[in-house]
């Protein structure tokens, strides 16, 4: 009859669950716990029927934890904790953003930092911080900088590796701005165990990049950067004191672009499968929206 069938199914289910849990090996240290929930619909009569039936007091005890109207809400109550566990287990973003000089990397990095709470890092800032902190790699870099020499890749990689190992980068994720610039640097990062989850490439035609560079002006009093066409000064007083940096000429801009293009295709080949290309000619809000889509 139906009661006997229900009793048999219930007994087999309980035995299967017991066998399954007893066969599990102890969880390794640091493993994320997983909640299993079994939902079975069964009346008290089925629990106490036949040779497999339970005593009345056992039925009462068991039914307290197995009634359908109580077990379903348990699942709902656990949903938030499961979501939290998934969030906790998720690897923080590790992003490299690349693009030619004046492609808008700095602007987009600030937006990404604000939106996702990432740690924004540039090699220049990391070099200066390491020298100031007098770390081992920082002191190695200081010698080259004082002699006016380029800091070797192995020293820069050491500084980057040390910085990315700090707790804020591990917990919040990081955004590496404009590095690596060569295939050798990309391979050195990989050899050091530094592998991004995403690479974003802002693409802008050279002529537009040159226009952006040549039109830039610096306010020596505030340090604010303006552009004669795209972000003009707010008053004649400010406009009168603006200066052009020595590097912001067309000749020097073309030299930097030539160096960028010489190495960039090889860098791209190191990140096939995780690199996304974004049109950097659009307004900054539209560029940011495209970057967000690439990160989804």
Active site residues: 105, 181, 216, 245, 256
| Cα distance between residue 150 and residue 19, in whole Å | 65
Is there a contact between 179 and 157 (Cβ–Cβ < 8 Å)? no
Residues paired with 130 in a beta bridge: none
Counting other chains too, the contacts that 51-58 makes at CB distance below 8 Å and 24 or more residues apart are 52/7, 52/8, 52/11, 53/7
Is there a contact between 154 and 74 (Cβ–Cβ < 8 Å)? no
Is there a contact between 98 and 264 (Cβ–Cβ < 8 Å)? yes
Helices (H), 24-151: 44-47, 56-66, 68-89, 105-116, 123-133, 136-146
DSSP conformation class of 49: S
DSSP letters, 244-285, are --TT-SHHHHHHHHHHHHHHHHHHHHTTTTTEEEEETTS-HH
By the 10 Å C-beta count (0-12 exposed, 13-18 middle, 19+ buried), 51 is classed as exposed
Question: What does the angle CA 124 – CA 282 – CA 234 come to, to the nearest 5 degrees?
Answer: 75
| Cα distance between residue 185 and residue 157, in whole Å | 8
Cβ neighbours for 243, distance < 8 A, ≥ 6 positions apart: 217, 218, 220
């Amino acid at each position: 009859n139906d009661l006997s069938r229900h009793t048999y199914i219930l007994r087999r289910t309980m035995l299967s669950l017991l066998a399954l849990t007893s066969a599990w090996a102890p969880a390794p240290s640091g493993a994320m716990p997983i909640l299993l929930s079994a939902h079975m619909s069964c009346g008290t009569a089925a629990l106490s029927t036949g040779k497999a039936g339970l005593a009345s007091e056992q039925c009462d005890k068991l039914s307290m934890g197995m009634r359908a109207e109580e077990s379903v809400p348990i699942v709902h109550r656990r949903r938030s904790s499961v979501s939290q566990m998934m969030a906790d287990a998720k690897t923080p973003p590790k992003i490299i953003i690349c693009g030619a000089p004046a492609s808008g990397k700095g602007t987009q990095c600030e937006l990404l930092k604000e939106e996702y709470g990432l740690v924004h890092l540039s090699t220049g800032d990391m070099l200066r911080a390491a020298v100031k902190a007098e770390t081992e790699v920082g002191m190695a870099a200081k010698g080259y900088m004082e002699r006016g020499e380029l800091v070797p890749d192995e020293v820069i990689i050491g500084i980057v590796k040390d910085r990315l190992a700090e707790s804020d980068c591990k917990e919040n994720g990081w955004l590496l701005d404009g590095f690596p610039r060569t295939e050798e640097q990309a391979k050195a990062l990989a050899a050091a165990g530094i592998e991004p989850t995403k690479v974003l490439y802002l693409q802008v035609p050279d002529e537009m990049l040159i226009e952006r560079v040549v039109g830039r002006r610096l306010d020596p009093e505030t340090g604010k950067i303006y552009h004669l066409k795209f972000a003009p000064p707010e008053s004649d007083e400010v406009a009168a004191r603006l200066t052009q940096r020595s590097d912001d000429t067309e000749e020097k801009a073309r030299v930097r672009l030539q160096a960028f293009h010489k190495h960039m295709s090889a860098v791209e080949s190191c990140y096939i499968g995780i690199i996304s290309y974004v049109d950097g000619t659009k307004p900054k809000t539209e560029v940011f929206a495209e970057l967000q889509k690439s990160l989804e």
